[in-house]
């Protein structure tokens, strides 16, 4: 699988298929709430039929039994990576994993399960005062990553700045998937803490999620290839 995941943040099937037609080889894509809630899960099947690898980013978070049932049904789609919130606790994450294993069709590889730690949109102040979690964001992120590992997850979503500490705490095999990527000199948009693909690679991020830097590029396939070159060959 490629190391660069392009976020398909579109609201219609036509936009997605038009965008993917610009690529002449399979890529790794992320399908999130925006697209799923607009098109339903059929969009996953359509994108899969084109040969692309899929990260289904629906961030499940509910009681363990419900998450297990949800994951069991999602696993039937044959996606490559899927996620849930670490904030649901270890029992919920374990249930998510069980659901995936039960729902994966026989003979198929189960989707990798990734936990969402503290959203990068949550500041230290919000975490301390609104969520009632004391201390530094980094400490909670690492704690959540350890919980995810204990529950049998394959890795976590985190910011570039936390990837190193997570690998130190959970091992190099524990995957880190990081959004908030911008090309050198590119537009930051609404992201607060951004980093380049080169820096992400240097920090040991296993996969990066890139949205607008690719989707708004004049030549998305070329931009994707250039970023993937950095991530897979370590051209830092």
Which CB, 108 or 192, lies closer to ligand C5P? 192
Catalytic site residue 124? no
Distances 118 to 18, 98, 136 between C-alpha atoms, Å: 33, 23, 11
Structure tokens at 59: 């961030």
Q: Is 210 in the site for ligand C5P (CB under 6 A)?
A: yes
- Judged by CB under 6 A, the residue of 61, 161, 212, 225 near ligand C5P is 212
Residues 6+ apart with CB under 8 A from 202: 236
DSSP string, 40-99: -THHHHHHHHTT-EEEEEEEE-S-HHHHHHHHHHHHTT--SEEEEEGGG-HHHHHHHHHH
Q: Which stretch binds ligand C5P (CB under 6 A): 19-27, 67-75, 135-143, 204-212?
A: 204-212
Q: What is the C-alpha R_g of the chain?
A: 17
Chain positions 83 to 112 lying near ligand C5P, rule: CB under 6 A, are: none
**Stretch of 98-106, 125-133, 196-204, 207-215 lying at the interface with ligand C5P (CB under 6 A):** 207-215
Q: What are phi and psi of 38, to 5 degrees?
A: -85, -40
**By the rule CB under 6 A, 36 interacts with ligand C5P:** no
Q: Encoding tokens for residue 163?
A: 């990837």
The C-alpha atoms of residue 49 and residue 134 are separated, in whole angstroms, by: 46
Residues binding ligand C5P: what is the number (CB under 6 A)? 16
Q: Which residue in the list 3, 22, 30, 59 is annotated as catalytic?
A: 59
* Member of 87, 179, 197, 220 binding ligand C5P (CB under 6 A): 179
The tokens describing 219, both together, are: 């030549």
Stretch of 73-81, 101-109, 138-146, 174-182 lying at the interface with ligand C5P (CB under 6 A): 174-182
Is 119 near ligand C5P (CB under 6 A)? yes
- The single residue among 74, 142, 209, 230 that binds ligand C5P, judged by CB under 6 A, is 209
Interacting residues toward ligand C5P by CB under 6 A: 7, 9, 32, 119-120, 157, 179-181, 189, 191, 209-213
Q: Which residues are known to be catalytic?
A: 59
């Amino acid at each position: 699988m490629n190391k660069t995941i392009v976020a398909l943040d579109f609201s219609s099937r036509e936009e997605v298929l038009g965008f993917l037609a610009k690529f002449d080889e399979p890529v790794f894509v992320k399908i999130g709430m925006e697209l799923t809630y607009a098109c339903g899960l059929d969009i996953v099947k359509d994108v899969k039929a084109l040969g692309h690898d899929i990260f289904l980013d629906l961030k499940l978070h509910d009681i363990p039994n419900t998450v297990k049932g949800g994951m069991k049904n999602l696993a039937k789609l044959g996606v490559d990576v899927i996620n849930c919130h670490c904030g649901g606790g270890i029992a919920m994450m374990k249930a998510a994993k069980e659901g995936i294993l039960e729902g994966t069709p026989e003979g198929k590889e189960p989707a990798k399960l990734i936990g969402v730690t503290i959203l990068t949109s949550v500041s230290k102040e919000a975490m301390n005062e609104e969520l009632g979690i004391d201390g530094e964001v980094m400490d909670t992120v690492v704690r959540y990553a350890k919980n995810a590992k204990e529950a049998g997850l394959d890795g976590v979503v985190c910011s570039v700045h936390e990837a190193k500490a997570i690998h130190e705490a959970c091992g190099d095999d524990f995957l880190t998937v990081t959004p908030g990527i911008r090309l050198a000199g590119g537009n930051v948009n609404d992201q607060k803490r951004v980093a380049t693909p080169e820096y992400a690679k240097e920090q040991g991020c296993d996969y990066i999620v890139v949205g607008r830097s690719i989707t708004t590029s004049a030549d998305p396939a070329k931009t994707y290839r250039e970023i993937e070159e950095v991530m897979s060959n370590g051209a830092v």
